[in-house]
Amino acid sequence: MYLAKQYMLYDLAIYLLKQEQYKLFHFDYDKNEIWVAKSTWRQTNIIRLIHKDFDWKNHLKQDIAYLFQRVRNLRRHFRSKHIQVFNVYISELEPVDDWEKLKTPMLLDERNPVKMKVFYLSQENWQREQRRLCEAIGTTNDYTFALPSIDEQERTVNYYKYEIQQYIYEKNKRVRDVFSFGKPQITYFLLYVNIIMFFILEFNGGSTDIETLLDYGAKYNPAIIMGEWWRIITSMFLHIGFLHLLMNMIALYYLGTAVERIYGSKRFIFIYFLAGIFGGITSFAFNFQIAAGASGALFGLFGALLFFGTVYKDLFKQTMGKNLIFILLINIVFGFMVPQIDMGAHLGGLIGGFIASAIVYLPKRKQRCVQFSALASYLIIISLLTFYGYAVNVDYLEQLLQ
């Protein structure tokens, strides 16, 4: 009967994966335990299938309590607030004492409660519990079960195990491919260029000297009005003081390597410069002070990772999501608290990086409508910022001269 129960377990799992479009979430080969899940924006259904025997009701209750705790710890993997767990036991015999009350729907009492229903598929009640499970999860396809010969059971179980392992391999491969599409060559090159430019400034008057910064291309609005638009780009490679350089290069190393691995070098350099230009023009429009630094482009890399999160929602949430948003919020709050920080460049770079990422999109994926709309949006916003910046800067200079 052990082989028959294994066959029931894997046959039901394969049905859920192939016919009901559930995704494999967890597989324990030794314990014969399989978790599958299906999510919408409102609710996630988790079905846990396990081949396990329980002699007593208390042993079953302990396992249910343990499962509640596991689901609570795994909440961050699901974007839905409401979680419904279908806990399915496949066993030889039912517990000897009165356990039927455990079939009553259970609720883990917390802010966003986890609901659980228990199903116990034994030799005596397999058909009845199977129907109850299908009704509870709302299957869209009929599930019919028939137990084949012992030889066929063994062959099929081995094939199902292989199929699930292959599914896991392909899933892991897709994740690896997403995070290793490119190599961070441009990131390292940009690090070298910024560091070299810092030492050139230091050896030619100092990186905090205003005249030196202006000579080497810092953002200076009166000069930009006179036609020196190239300062929008050159200012991206200049840093005012060692601490400024150090903080930005640390950010470039971590953000740059992540973005370049995901997007590839060509897309990365496109995002980096379009974000830097967007941030520079935003700074020109809203900040009249001399400015320099790679911060606009670096915030653009934040924008690129946020755009990645809109395409790979589950993967983003399971990996970098919360940490990235937390770090970004800290930087934004800190920027508003410190007057010397050019928040126009930061926020402009963030928006510009997000839009630039939508223009190039992600490797092996295309959305022509989204890409064209993003390109049009970038050009329109850049034009408006340029005209606005020119107008307010001319008025500002006229007021100073009066």
Q: What is the DSSP letter of 339?
A: T
User: Domain ends where: 134, 155, 178?
Assistant: 178
Q: How much is the pLDDT for 1? A: 61
Task: Verify that 155 and 266 share a domain, yes or no.
Answer: no
- Residues pairing with 119 in the sheet: 88
Would you say 121 and 152 are in contact if contact means Cβ atoms under 8 Å apart? no
Task: Verify that 259 and 377 share a domain, yes or no.
Answer: yes
Angstrom distance (rounded) from CA 26 to CA 333: 39
Closest-CA residue to 121 (of 241, 268, 267, 9): 9
Express each pLDDT in 70-129 by its tens digit.
Answer: 888 887 677 667 888 999 999 887 787 888 888 888 777 666 778 899 998 887 788 888
Provide the number of structural domains found in the chain.
2
User: Domain ends where: 139, 155, 178?
Assistant: 178
Task: Verify that 351 and 273 share a domain, yes or no.
Answer: yes
Q: Which of 207, 283, 295, 357 is catalytic?
A: 295
Q: Report residue 81 as tokens.
A: 């607030």
Task: Verify that 212 and 302 share a domain, yes or no.
Answer: yes
C-alpha distance from residue 52 to each of 5, 94, 111, 249, 277 (Å) = 9, 10, 31, 54, 61
Task: Verify that 220 and 170 share a domain, yes or no.
Answer: no
Residue 277 is part of which domain span?
A: 182-401
Q: Which of 91, 283, 346, 357 is catalytic?
A: 346
Express each pLDDT in 20-47 by its tens digit.
Answer: 889 898 898 888 899 999 887 778 899 9
Task: Verify that 158 and 277 share a domain, yes or no.
Answer: no
Task: Verify that 100 and 144 share a domain, yes or no.
Answer: yes
Would you say 233 and 272 are in contact if contact means Cβ atoms under 8 Å apart? no
Task: Verify that 136 and 202 share a domain, yes or no.
Answer: no
Q: Is 346 one of the catalytic residues?
A: yes
Express each pLDDT in 251-278 by its tens digit.
Answer: 999 999 999 999 999 999 999 999 999 9
Task: Verify that 218 and 91 share a domain, yes or no.
Answer: no
Task: Verify that 172 and 207 share a domain, yes or no.
Answer: no
**What does pTM read for this prediction?**
0.80
b (16+ CB within 10 A) / e for 55-93: eebeebeebbeebbeebeebeeebebeebbbbbbbbbee
Q: Please say whether the dihedral angle defined by the alpha carbons of residues 20, 21, 23 and 28, taken in this order, is positive or negative.
A: positive
Reading across the β-sheet that carries 23-28, which strands appear in turn? 23-28, 33-39, 43-51, 82-90, 114-121, 106-108
User: Domain ends where: 162, 178, 194?
Assistant: 178
Q: Report residue 142 as tokens.
A: 């009929």
CATH number for the domain spanning 199: value is 1.20.1540.10
Q: For helices 242-263 and 265-286, what crossing angle results, to 10°?
A: 140
Provide mean pLDDT across the span 305-314: 91
Confidence grade of residue 280 (pLDDT, cut at 50, 70, 90): very high
